[in-house]
Structure 1
Amino acid sequence: MTRIPDQPKRLRIVPISKLAAAPKWQLETLRALREPVFFWFTAGQGRITLGGSTRGVHPHNAIYIPPGTMYGFQAMTRTQGVALHMGDPTGLDLPETPLHLRLRDGSQHAEVAQIMDAIQRELEGAKDFAERAARHQIGLLAIWLERQRSSAGDDSPRGLSSTNANERLTARYSTLLERSFGSALNVGDYAQALGVTPTHLTRACRASCGRTALQLVQERRLYEARRLLSETDVPVQDIARNLGFSTPGYFSRAFSAHTGTAPSLYRKARGA
């Protein structure tokens, strides 16, 4: 059986406007990366589902997403800013939980902008030890994040500590789902592991992020299928098997129903 490749981990900065131009499924599907990501928004508006809840995104919002945390964006039109993909997080001492910081003070804006500019200069300058220098700047960013989190009060919207019961349950479900979406586990299995009924889990997911528990499973598997069909030459039958589908035929029908295109035609259209 062909080994399914992971998403690459590489230190880089990407304009958010470029991310916003990606296909809708790449933006809105809840998924997780295996590297930490930091978003700094300077203009425009949108919505992000993070930590089990959906929240608005506005200028001067800073969002940190640890590896393995499911997230998705909505309506990211005319947004500006940068996304820092941090690559291998080893030795960076970053926060373990997601953060959504709404920065109102001009000095805060200047601090984060200065760090991001320094990282970008190192990555674009191609000098000796550029990536090493950039990682030291990320260390400063990690300290900045911790300071911002510790200064937020309990009633501050900047953190994610004020989540309700539905959001906390959805976050726990999302964590389990990200670990096991390639298995044949169903919503009932996840609900049992979480100590709730499938109905309660579905109600919590819908209240938190507007999707049912089943939709989250289906969307995550099909997001990975699209990624593998677009970016790799892994055989369709191996993709089906590694994403928990009982047969390649069942996978093909589910993929076609969701996208309107058979897996083989989808891959051919994207030249993978």
Structure 2
Amino acid sequence: MTQRTIPSYELYGELLSGASTDPIHHELIRDRSSQHDWTIRLHRHRAMAQVFLFRTANVAYRLGDVTHRTSEPHILFVPPGFVHGFRFDEDVDGDVLSIRTGDLPPGPSEALLPAAMQVPCVLARSDSENFADIEATFQQLARIYRRMNVERRTLLETLTQLILTYIAGDVRRHATIGTLPTSERLSRHEQQAEDFCALVEQDFREELSVGDYARTLGVSPPHLTRVCRKVLGESPNGLIRQRRLLEAKRLLEYTRLSISEIALRSGFRNPPFFSRTFRQCVGLSPKSYRSSKEA
């Protein structure tokens, strides 16, 4: 599979179009892999790091140009933008923790693991002094993740930082830390798409047109549209709208702001238009969406 055919699932795609507004996502590996014949094809996440906990052996995975099969339980850290794929046995036992970059507050792991946060880290249980603690923290995080109370997000952030800090300690002693191969570097179009995503993240609340974004990037609006459709599978306007709707979902879930105020804070200058757009894209009115999260 060449670089151009490797799909990208990220904030402007997988997470943004999904139901979750959490910066942290937890699931069992078998939950997703069982839906795909136990094979996760090569892909990357532009704005998301992942920690995989494999409790069983015989997991085949590919990281960039490197293919490996585990012979014992492992922990695998995959940074944003790095190509990876898996082939699992049907009895696989493990978890995956997905972390949307930029949403977590700084923690001790950031100082301990500066280099490893940029490249994959592989930890075998036999080389990890913290494996049991990491596994126990994963179990606690999985329980907290299913809760819906006011302290949930803070606890998830704390436990995530704890997992990263445990990994940091092991990395300094034993982990295999790869380097980013040249073949993994972004193509020109991928870089332009990533730059556009960064601008949207910065300015989605402003009344900016596709032409405004294109001028900032030094390209034409038609070129930006082609790049977004090719790399991200969506038009620029669609990506801007998705980012605004994600912000609206967050505000509906975690604040008591009025619908009109949420519309304005999410980049919609016309509250009735916001309500219509929200219903069309989400399937619920803003009020009903808020009520569903309070149930």
Verify: 1:235 aligned to 2:258, yes or no.
Answer: yes
Match of 1:3 in 2: none
Distance (whole Å) between structure 2 residues aligned to residue 99 and residue 41 of structure 1: 24
Match of 2:136 in 1: 121
Distance (whole Å) between structure 2 residues aligned to residue 96 and residue 163 of structure 1: 19
Q: Indicate the structure whose relative CO is greater, using CA pairs within 8 Å and at least 6 residues apart.
A: 1
Question: How far 1:29 moved relative to its partner?
Answer: 2.8
* Structure 1 segments unaligned to the other structure (5+ residues): 1-24, 70-77, 125-129, 156-160
Distance (whole Å) between structure 2 residues aligned to residue 114 and residue 42 of structure 1: 23
Distance (whole Å) between structure 2 residues aligned to residue 207 and residue 136 of structure 1: 37
Distance (whole Å) between structure 1 residues aligned to residue 289 and residue 162 of structure 2: 41
Q: In structure 1, what residue type is equivalent to 2:133?
A: A
* Structure 2 segments unaligned to the other structure (5+ residues): 1-12, 34-38, 53-58, 62-75, 82-91, 141-157
- The equivalences for 1:125-204 within 5 A come to 136-140=165-169, 148-150=177-179, 152-155=180-183, 161-204=184-227
Q: In structure 1, what residue type is equivalent to 2:17?
A: T
Runs of 4+ in 1 over 6 A off after TM superposition: 37-41, 111-114, 130-133
Match of 2:46 in 1: 51
Q: In structure 2, what residue type is equivalent to 1:189?
A: D
Match of 2:229 in 1: 206
Match of 1:82 in 2: 96
**What SS does the aligned partner of 2:289 have?**
helix
Distance (whole Å) between structure 1 residues aligned to residue 240 and residue 126 of structure 2: 39
Q: Normalised by the size of structure 1, how large is the TM-score?
A: 0.60
- Work out whether residues 182 and 244 of structure 1, in 8 Å CA contact, stay in contact via their aligned partners in 2: yes
Distance (whole Å) between structure 2 residues aligned to residue 79 and residue 122 of structure 1: 16
Question: How far 1:257 moved relative to its partner?
Answer: 1.9
Deviations 1:118-159 (A, max 9, x none): 3343685xxxxx979766424336758996243x4324xxxx
Match of 1:29 in 2: 17
- Work out whether residues 122 and 134 of structure 1, in 8 Å CA contact, stay in contact via their aligned partners in 2: yes
Q: In structure 1, what residue type is equivalent to 2:46?
A: G
Verify: 1:255 aligned to 2:278, yes or no.
Answer: yes
Alpha carbons of structure 1 residues 233 and 219: separation in structure 2 relative to 1, 3 Å: same
Q: Normalised by the size of structure 2, how large is the TM-score?
A: 0.56
Q: Which moved more, 1:260-269 or 1:79-88?
A: 79-88
- Work out whether residues 51 and 98 of structure 1, in 8 Å CA contact, stay in contact via their aligned partners in 2: no
Distance (whole Å) between structure 1 residues aligned to residue 261 and residue 173 of structure 2: 43
Question: How far 1:260 moved relative to its partner?
Answer: 3.0
**What SS does the aligned partner of 2:191 have?**
helix
Distance (whole Å) between structure 2 residues aligned to residue 170 and residue 39 of structure 1: 27
How many aligned positions are there? Answer: 218
Q: In structure 2, what residue type is equivalent to 1:169?
A: Q
Match of 1:74 in 2: none
Alpha carbons of structure 1 residues 134 and 258: separation in structure 2 relative to 1, 3 Å: closer
